[in-house]
Structure 1
Amino acid sequence: MVEPAPPHRQPEENPRHGRLAARPAPPTALAAAGLTSLTDPGGAPLALAYAPEPVGGPPYRLVLLLHGAGGSARQGLDLLLPVADAHRLLLVAPQAVASSWDLVGEGFGADVRRIDALLAMAFAGHPVARVAFGGFSDGACTPSPWA
C-alpha cells in the first residue's frame, strides 16, 4: 500500500504564494568575479555563484540553477559552468535547505526565502539584464516562483 504524500500548504498559509520579491536593479557595489561559495554565519552552505570577468562590463544574464534531490549546489552550477564565460552568464546555484526543495515536500517555505535573498545579493553586486531558471530532477519540477 502506498502512503499518501503530505499535504501541500494552502496559498492562504503563505501570503506571498511562493513568489520572489527580488528584481534586477542597478548594482549598489560591484561583487568579485569568479567562483564564490556563500555560507551562513555558522558555515553551512547556502549557494555557489560564478561571475565571469569583467564585473563592470555589460550586464550579465543571470541563471538560477536548482539541483536534484539529494544533490548539491555544485551539481546545479556544473550544468552551465563550462559555457558561462562565453555567454556572460552569472550563475547562482542555491543549496536546498533539506535533501530536496521544500515545495516538493511541504510547499513554499525556507527555500523560497533563501533563493529570494540570493537573487537580491546577486542583483546588488552585478548588472543583470535577464533572468532564467533551470534545474534537473526535483530542481526541474519545482515551478518558477518568479512573478
Structure 2
Amino acid sequence: MGSSKQTNLTTGRLRARPTQPTETGSVELHPLGLSDSRDGVIYVPAGYRGERSAPLILMLHGAGGDAEGAMNILQDLADPFETILLAVDSRRQTWDVIMSQYGPDVAFIDQALTQTFTRYAIDPNRIAIAGFSDGASYALSVGLTNGDLFKHIIAFSPGFMAPADQVGSPRLFVSHGQRDTVLPIDRCSRRIVPRLQQAGYDVLYQEFDGPHTVPGEIRRAALEWFMNETAATP
C-alpha cells in the first residue's frame, strides 16, 4: 500500500474523483482547514444548489504567492459564471515539480479535491485546472498528466511544462503578455503552444499588449471559453 501511494505521488497522478456528496459544504469564501500553516481557500457561489452539479476550477498561484492571491484572479467572475473556485497553497515557495519532482503538492491537491468532492456536487465534465506564472506551468504539467480528471486547462503566462505523462485529451486556453519581462513570451508561450498543438491538443492562444499579469478581458475570455467548452461537452 505504501509503495503504491508513493508511486502515485511521484508520477503526478491524482486519485480524487467527483462523487455523490456525503457532507454539506458552506457557500461563499472560506478556508479549507486542511493545514495549520499553508492551507487553501474555496469560493462557492451563493446560488449553488446541491441538486445541480457545478463546474469547478482549481486555481494555482505564482512563485512566492498564496491561495488567496490565486483566488483573487477569478473570484469576481465566480458568481456570474456560477463556478466553484478552489485554490491551494504550495507546500514550499513554489510547486514541487518546479523545485525537484512531484510529491507533496500532488498529495495536498488530492486531499483538497477529495474534500471538495465530498461536500459539493461537481460536474465531472466541467473540471478545470488553472494558474498564473509558476502556477500556470504547474497547471499545464499536472493538467496534462491528469487529463482524465481535468478536461480543461487554463494557463495565464506559463514558463514551461513538465508533465509526467499525457493522459486524456484536455483542451487548453493559454494567454501571455507581449511585454512580459518575468517570463518572456518568445521563450515561453510561443514555444509551449506549438509543442502542445504538435502533440494534438486543442489550444486557444491569446496574446495581449501587456506585462506579466492577467488583464480583465483575458480573465473573462478564459471563463467564457471554459463555460462554452463545457456546455458543448456531451
Instruction: Give the TM-score normalised by the residue count of structure 1.
Output: 0.85
Please state if 1:132 is matched with 2:128.
Answer: yes
In 2, the alpha carbon distance for the partners of 1:86 and 1:96 equals 28
In 2, the alpha carbon distance for the partners of 1:45 and 1:89 equals 24
Mean Cα deviation higher: 90-99 or 31-40: 31-40
Matches within 5 A, 1:68-87: 68-87=62-81
Quickly say closer, same or farther: Cα 1:40–1:26, change in 2 above 3 A: closer
Could you list the per-position Cα deviations for residues 32-52 of structure 1 after superposition, in whole angstroms to 9, with x for gaps in the alignment? Answer: 1010112346x2131011011
Number of residues of Structure 1 aligned to a counterpart in Structure 2: 133
2:34–2:112 contact (8 Å) kept in structure 1: no
Could you tell me which runs of 5 or more consecutive residues in structure 1 were left unpaired when the two chains were aligned. 1-13
Which is richer in helix?
Answer: 2
1:38–1:45 contact (8 Å) kept in structure 2: no
- How far residue 57 of structure 1 moved from its aligned partner, in angstroms, is 4.6
Instruction: Give the TM-score normalised by the residue count of structure 2.
Output: 0.54
In 2, the alpha carbon distance for the partners of 1:106 and 1:55 equals 41
In 2, the alpha carbon distance for the partners of 1:95 and 1:126 equals 21
What percent of counterpart residues are identical?
A: 33
Indicate the residue corresponding to 1:9 in structure 2.
none
Rg comparison, structure with higher value: 2
SS at match of 2:25: coil
Indicate the residue corresponding to 2:112 in structure 1.
118
Indicate the residue corresponding to 1:23 in structure 2.
17
In 2, the alpha carbon distance for the partners of 1:52 and 1:40 equals 21
Q: Please tell me the root mean square deviation across aligned C-alpha atoms, in Å.
A: 1.4
Could you tell me which runs of 5 or more consecutive residues in structure 2 were left unpaired when the two chains were aligned. 1-5, 149-234
SS at match of 1:68: coil
The runs of at least 4 consecutive aligned structure 1 residues that moved more than 2 Å come to 38-41, 53-57
1:77–1:91 contact (8 Å) kept in structure 2: yes
Please state if 1:104 is matched with 2:84.
Answer: no
SS at match of 1:30: coil
Mean Cα deviation higher: 44-53 or 61-70: 44-53
In 1, the alpha carbon distance for the partners of 2:80 and 2:27 equals 14
